[in-house]
Amino acid sequence: MTARAPPTVLVIMGVSGSGKTTVGKALAKRLGWTFQEGDDFHPPANIAKMKAGIPLDDADRAPWLAKVQAWISDQLAEGESGVIACSALKRTYRDALVDGRDNVILVYLSGSKALIASRLKSRRGHFMPPALLDSQLAALEAPEPLEKPIMDAIDQPIPAQIEAILHALAERLGAPMT
């Protein structure tokens, strides 16, 4: 992108284990954009709950969502593009994050429950227990066409996922991505 192009923020969304952190980091590196882990905005009480296998409710998620929202707005206000990993499971959360802006783009990592469960099972050193997958899937409201998500299938190697996202992004922005 040229320096004059408007800044863009990609919100990498999907359930726990869909690959948000992995894909988001690789994508940000490839684009030379800032990466932010959305989970880092959870207050300690939320992390403790999730570690204990207790699903978060809307009230738990409110302070986290406000921080994610602020990060996106600050990035754009500074003229910086970025990538944030954020489950954004519900439409109301996404509407708050996108806030009608064309340059806040959802990237939805979608895959089968079996594949996600197997990735969670073999993942090490993460606070999210695999048992929370059912509650994540129950909370998930998949993005609707009106939300214009970039769809990315997770049943392919990460480099292929990145290429697919870059391709869709270039079409969306009308400019080749580096």
Per CB under 5 A, residues contacting Mg ion are 20-21
Coil vs helix vs strand at 176: coil
Report if residue 119 touches ligand ATP, rule: CB under 6 A.
yes
Nearest partner of 7 among 91, 60, 58, 82, judged by Cα = 82
What is the rounded CA–CA span in Å between residue 104 and residue 101? 6
Report if residue 113 touches ligand ATP, rule: CB under 6 A.
no
Identify which range of 54-62, 137-145, 157-165, 169-177 contacts ligand ATP by CB under 6 A: 157-165
Q: Which runs of E-coded beta strand occur in 33-158?
A: 34-37, 82-85, 104-110, 150-153
Report if residue 19 touches ligand ATP, rule: CB under 6 A.
yes
Report if residue 158 touches ligand ATP, rule: CB under 6 A.
yes
Give the interface size with ligand ATP as a residue count (CB under 6 A): 19
Of the residues 1, 10, 11, 16, which one makes contact with ligand ATP according to CB under 6 A: 16
Q: How far is the CB of 174 from Mg ion (least distance, A)?
A: 31
CA end-to-end distance (rounded Å), the chain? 7
Task: Choose among ligand ATP, Mg ion, none what residue 170 binds, the Cβ cut-off being 5 to 8 Å by kind.
Answer: none
Q: Which residue has the tokens 């066409």?
A: 145
Q: How far is the CB of 37 from Mg ion (least distance, A)?
A: 7
Identify which range of 74-82, 93-101, 122-130, 138-146 contacts ligand ATP by CB under 6 A: 122-130
Q: Is 82 exposed, middle or buried (CB count within 10 Å of its CB: 0-12, 13-18, 19+)?
A: buried
Task: Choose among Mg ion, ligand ATP, none what residue 154 binds, the Cβ cut-off being 5 to 8 Å by kind.
Answer: ligand ATP
Residues paired with residue 106 on neighbouring β-strands, in sequence order = 11
What is the rounded CA–CA span in Å between residue 80 and residue 3? 10
In the complex, the residues that contact ligand ATP under the rule CB under 6 A are: 14, 16-22, 39, 85, 87, 119, 123, 126, 128, 154, 157-158, 161
